[in-house]
Amino acid sequence: MAYFWFKAFHFIGVVVWFAGLFYLVRLFVYHAEASQEPEPAQTILKNQYEIMEKRLYHIITTPGMVVTVAMAIGLLVTEPEVLKQGWLHIKLAFVALLLVYHFYCGRIMGQLAANQCSWTGQQFRALNEAPTVLLMVIVLLAVFKNSLPTDITSWLILAMIIAMAASIQLYAKKRKRDKEKSLATTSQAEPQL
């Protein structure tokens, strides 16, 4: 029975952790783009994003990570024979990458708060794709274990992921271009003094 409790809370922890990671980097996008706003809006926005980032990281994302890892350890204690399986070693390697990503986001958060981060909103949008890829690989390994399919369906899913990431990047570029056009049109329409 302990196995099922560990598993249930492991799933809950994963959902909370990933929700936090996805939203945290989205806040980084807005934080970075706030630099393009005129004062006092720039300072107000940056201060608000800093508060939101800290609360999200410390109250939601990090506890979600802790619950995920603690429950995973509980699962391994109840079924230690799974440690001998190759798929789990690969999954744990991807989880290690996810932990690095988590703490790297904490580092970026500090840099943004100190105005020492040179990343653009576009770069943060690209960074926000990393947990999606990690999530998919980790879940596929957990579901399929040693029988991960490598047929055409798998390649189609991979192509779909790449297409989604590319479309997000293209949409962001379009929005930026539209904003620049709008600003150029507005500045041309203003009377010259």
Annotated binding site for heme: 10, 91
Report the chain's terminal Cα–Cα distance, integer Å: 78
Distance of CA 126 to the CA centre of its chain: 10
Residues of each annotated binding site: 10, 91
| 20, burial (CB in 10 Å: exposed 0-12, middle 13-18, buried 19+) | buried
| 116, burial (CB in 10 Å: exposed 0-12, middle 13-18, buried 19+) | exposed
Rounded Cα distance between 98 and 70, Å, is 15
